[in-house]
Amino acid sequence: MDLNCIIFIILMIQNVCYFKHQNKNRISLIFISLQYFMRFFCIKDLLTGMYQPVKKFRMEIRKILSHFIKKFKKRLVSSTLTLPEGYYDIIGDIHGHLSELKNLLEKMEYSVQDGIWKHTERKAVFVGDFISRGPDSRGVMTLIRNMVENNTGYAILGNHELNAIGYFTLTKTGKSITQLALSNKKQMENIREQFKDEPELLSDYIKWLRRLPFFLNLGSIRVAHAYWNNKHVQTIEKSITEGKLTKKLIKEIFRSETDFSIAVKQTTRGIEINLPKNLIIKDEKNIRRTDFRIKWWESPHGKTFRELSYGNRFVLPNYTIPNQILYPYDVYEADEPILFYGHYCINSGNLIARPNICCVDNCLAGFGRLAAYRWSGEENLTDANFVYQNRKLRS
């Protein structure tokens, strides 16, 4: 075995052992392995002094690997993360309720070590909408960010995080990229008030949100906030090329009707169908509703409004939906991987809507409970694996 092979093997063994010890994922292992592979060329040159014609070949290899690693680093913070199999606690919409989140983590035997919430064998997965509405969005963001950055948890974006990104990201003239409805604007201003003494910290948190993914692919399970569509996954991945939502992309989401903006909106808000103009439906606050959320894992054809309705806070009529108001969407099929999601505020009925469809939003914001599903590799989901934390009464 020549010197080339010996040096390369030593570096690779050192690299693998270190990452096994640090419990890093496969993506990090491959990325650092490539870096060591590049470094190997330099070390060998130094040790042997061999600057023959092969030097040109080595330089070309370095260029190719450098280009590949730059692309690979962007994918590390891609809109979709594919992660190794493990045991996960998928936590529903928190909406700024820090006390309830801490209590739930304690119930699941997480503890604070060096300021970070962690579990010895499991990782937490946050399905989005962890901010707004509640009293402490700042505290919730701090807790989740610390977990994400220390590899004890994962988080994806929901529609409320997307609203925050659009509202607090400014144009060159200092205006918000998006103008929100009055109720949503109040929620954002409440978050601003929580950072009143440290506005620069709020800006830093918004930049962090812009780097979070829209999806998680955890092997046998998937996680999205409101809807999973394989075409949307591809569209978002192709569009996010810098590992974050750029200002250009944020503007596109809120101001355009492109394939990318539609993919993001449906992923974070689900599929919504417009109601007929002559059908007057009002919610519990006596506000007229013009659209309704649906069961996107079922075909809409031949179903009544009530049969297809999902997660709406108003009652729909029990007659067949006219074909004229339907539009095509990809049904999430029964043979696809288990999908966990939030968003729909299901405070009654079964959270497991189908063997491979599971909602973890038990409507904490609507005086329900904070829910988490403890997944340990099972193919058949069961209600026994849910853990709940009741909402605290506040004066």
| pLDDT at position 11 | 47
d(CA 268, CA 17): 39
Residue 20, pLDDT above cutoff 90: no
Quick one: 14 and 132 in the same domain? no
Lowest pLDDT segment from 5-9, 137-141, 217-221: 5-9
Is residue 297 included in any domain, yes or no?
A: no
Three-state DSSP class for 142?
helix
Q: Are residues 143 and 43 in the same domain?
A: no
For 299-345, the pLDDT digits (tens) are: 999 999 999 999 999 999 999 999 999 999 999 999 999 999 999 99
Closest CA to 202 of 141, 271, 130: 141
- Structural domain span for residue 35: 3-76
Q: What is the CA radius of gyration of the chain?
A: 24
Tens of pLDDT, residue by residue over 257-306, are 999 999 999 999 999 999 999 999 998 889 999 999 999 999 999 999 99
Q: How far apart are CA 3 and CA 120, in angstroms?
A: 41
For residues 362 and 214, membership in a common domain is answered with: yes
Please give the pLDDT value at position 349.
79
* 260 and 351 assigned to the same domain: yes
End-to-end, the C-alpha distance of the chain in Å comes to 75
Residues 53 and 94 in one domain: no
Mean pLDDT score of the chain: 86
144 & 7 share domain: no
Nearest-angstrom CA–CA distance, 366 and 153 = 25
**Residues 120 and 86 sit within 8 Å (Cβ to Cβ):** no
Q: How many domains, the chain?
A: 2
What was the pLDDT predicted at 143?
98
Higher pLDDT, 336 or 64: 336
DSSP state of 367: T
List beta partners, residue 216: 81, 223
Residue 57's pLDDT is what? 52
Q: Regarding predicted confidence, which is higher, 367 or 128?
A: 128
| Residues 86, 43 share a domain | no
Same domain, 176 and 265: yes
> H helices within 98-179, ranges in order?
98-107, 137-149, 159-168
- pLDDT at position 4 is 52
What is the percent of the chain with per-residue pLDDT over 90, rounded to a whole number? 75
113 & 195 share domain: yes
**Domain boundary pick from 22, 53, 76:** 76
Q: Are residues 133 and 63 in the same domain?
A: no
pLDDT, position 202: 98
